[in-house]
């Protein structure tokens, strides 16, 4: 039997999603240990994608196989009983055996958050701090240039080998709001694509921000898409501002 789970987590205290031999503090390990207790068998989960240390998720999707039948709400309540409060399972359902959390996905959505003004203790591990308000119109124009099928090699982190660096960005845009608790201005950069490269969203966030601050012009986006060179994409926005918000199937 194959089960799909949707979960959220605050990634601040974790060394990323993926289980590591040298570290027990990963989201995957926490979830697998909880499911192993519920199912009375060793469980391995497969996620829609890995998130780095400090990255958050509002809608991470995973699947696992088990021979143990439980009511679906037991997977939710049972996991949440054994998991730390910074990881919550939101939903569980039975899926076909050919469903795969990663390979069945057709698109994912990430949001990168900035907060503007004075440094804030509440937001410091939830968003990237920006001292002055960037020009949202310039940022929006930069986002428009990213939409479509492009080679994002200039936006990929080092040390990764992939078959192709071409990806299709379906939507990309920015919006501003005010945090109801702190009163700080927030900026959300949201991007949906058929796939993402390592560090792609964080490098996009860094470039779009620099354009909004007037440190670079829009030609930097076009140049980066046409050339496999990180001349304009050296700023990798910190992981604290990145959220996996949803996976589409």
DSSP designation for 23: B
CA distances from 11 to 46, 55, 127, 132 (A): 18, 5, 12, 26
Residue 44's Cβ-count burial label (10 Å; 0-12, 13-18, 19+) is exposed
Catalytic status, residue 52: yes
Residue among 164, 192, 184, 186 at smallest CA distance from 204: 192
Alpha-carbon distance of 92 to 77, in angstroms, equals 10
* 3 state DSSP class of 170: strand
Helix (H) or strand (E) holding 74: helix 72-82
Q: 3-class DSSP state for residue 173?
A: strand
Tell me the sheet residues that pair with 128: 114
Which helix (H) or strand (E) segment is 227 a member of? none
Q: Is 66 helix (H, G, I), strand (E, B) or coil?
A: coil
CA distance 9 to 60: 8
62 phi/psi in degrees, rounded to 5: -135, 160
Residues recognised as catalytic = 52
């Amino acid at each position: 039997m194959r089960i799909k789970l949707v979960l959220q987590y605050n990634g601040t205290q974790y060394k990323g999603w993926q289980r590591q031999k040298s570290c027990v503090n990963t989201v995957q390990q926490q979830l697998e240990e909880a499911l192993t207790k519920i199912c009375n068998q060793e469980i391995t989960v497969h996620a829609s994608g890995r998130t780095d240390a400090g990255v958050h998720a509002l809608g991470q999707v995973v699947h696992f196989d088990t021979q143990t039948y439980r009511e679906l709400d037991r997977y939710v309540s049972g996991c949440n009983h054994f998991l730390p409060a910074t990881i919550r399972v939101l939903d569980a359902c039975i899926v076909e055996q050919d469903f795969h959390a990663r390979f069945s996905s057709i698109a994912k959505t990430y949001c990168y958050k900035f907060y503007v003004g004075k440094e804030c203790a509440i937001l410091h591990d939830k968003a990237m701090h920006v001292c002055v308000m960037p020009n949202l119109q310039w940022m929006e124009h930069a986002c428009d240039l990213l939409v479509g099928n492009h080679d994002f090699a200039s936006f990929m982190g080092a040390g990764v080998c992939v078959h192709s660096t071409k990806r299709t960005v379906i939507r990309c845009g920015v919006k501003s709001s005010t945090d109801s608790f702190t009163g700080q201005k927030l900026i959300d950069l949201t991007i949906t694509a058929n796939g993402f490269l390592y560090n792609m969203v964080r490098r996009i966030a860094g470039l779009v921000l620099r354009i909004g601050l007037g440190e670079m012009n829009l030609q930097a986006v076009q140049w980066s898409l046409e050339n496999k060179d990180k001349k304009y994409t050296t700023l990798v926005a910190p992981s604290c501002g990145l959220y996996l918000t949803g996976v589409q199937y």
